[in-house]
Amino acid sequence: MSPKAKKIISNKNLNLDKYPDGKSQNLRKAISKAYKCNSEKIICGAGSDEVIQMLCQLFLNPKDEVVVPEYSFLMYRIYSKIVGAKVAFAKEINFKVSVNEILKKITKKTRIVFIANPNNPTGTYLTKKEVLELRKRLNKKILLVIDDAYAEYMKNKDYSSGLDLFKNKDNVFILRTFSKMFGLASLRVGWGYGSKKNC
């Protein structure tokens, strides 16, 4: 955690007896300024975990299908299953997400494809070209969720974050978190960025 953040948390006269603003107005404004994006398209949650849960509750009905890479963050499959959706696992090649293998798992019932880029637990990533190819070849009606939890760690020139690539796409939903790069996991601050009608 940055010493500056630590100081603010310990010095500030926090009003812990008050419920927080459910719409996270100040935080959304600050995020939109820092990431140059529209505050009305941001939704905040108790970690991006909660945003994944909300997405599953919002988009999925029992018997709908979700595609996740075989080695991927467990919460995608857990929250999908809780709402009764079927989870299809796309093979990875050398522990890397494969666009072709994801597309092989798509059916008429597929509603969401989840990927983390870079991926947890494998640490591999899809290049900008590969992510754009995935969105292009995927049916427009299927929501592509790109989890940017570790985006700030990437320095590779052939990589672009989901947020950088798809700020204006309604059929892509981006997940972000303060837990990793900012070392603030215990504060449970995550956010999602997507179509205004979803946020």
Ligand X SMILES: Cc1ncc(COP(=O)(O)O)c(C=O)c1O
Question: What is the contact surface with ligand X in residues (CB under 6 A)?
Answer: 47-49, 73, 116, 120, 147, 149, 177, 179, 185, 190
Q: Closer to ligand X by CB, 190 or 194: give it.
A: 190
Cα gap 42→67, rounded to integer Å: 24
Q: Mapped to the 3 state alphabet, what secondary structure does 123-153 carry?
A: CCCCCHHHHHHHHHHCCCCCEEEEECCCHHH
Strand partners, 87: 66
Q: Closer to ligand X by CB, 105 or 176: give it.
A: 176
Query: What's the DSSP call for residue 54?
Result: H
Q: How far is the CB of 74 from ligand X (least distance, A)?
A: 9
Q: How far is the CB of 63 from ligand X (least distance, A)?
A: 26
Q: How far is the CB of 13 from ligand X (least distance, A)?
A: 26
Q: What is the CA radius of gyration of the chain?
A: 17
Q: Which residue, judged by CB position, is nearest to ligand X in the bound state?
A: 47
Q: How far is the CB of 116 from ligand X (least distance, A)?
A: 4
Q: Closer to ligand X by CB, 116 or 143: give it.
A: 116
**Of 94, 160, 144, which Cα lies nearest the Cα of 123?**
94
Strand partners, 115: 146
Q: Closer to ligand X by CB, 50 or 130: give it.
A: 50
Q: How far is the CB of 185 from ligand X (least distance, A)?
A: 5
> Is the link from the previous residue into 3 a cis peptide, with omega within 30 of 0?
no
Q: Closer to ligand X by CB, 61 or 181: give it.
A: 181
Cα gap 56→50, rounded to integer Å: 10
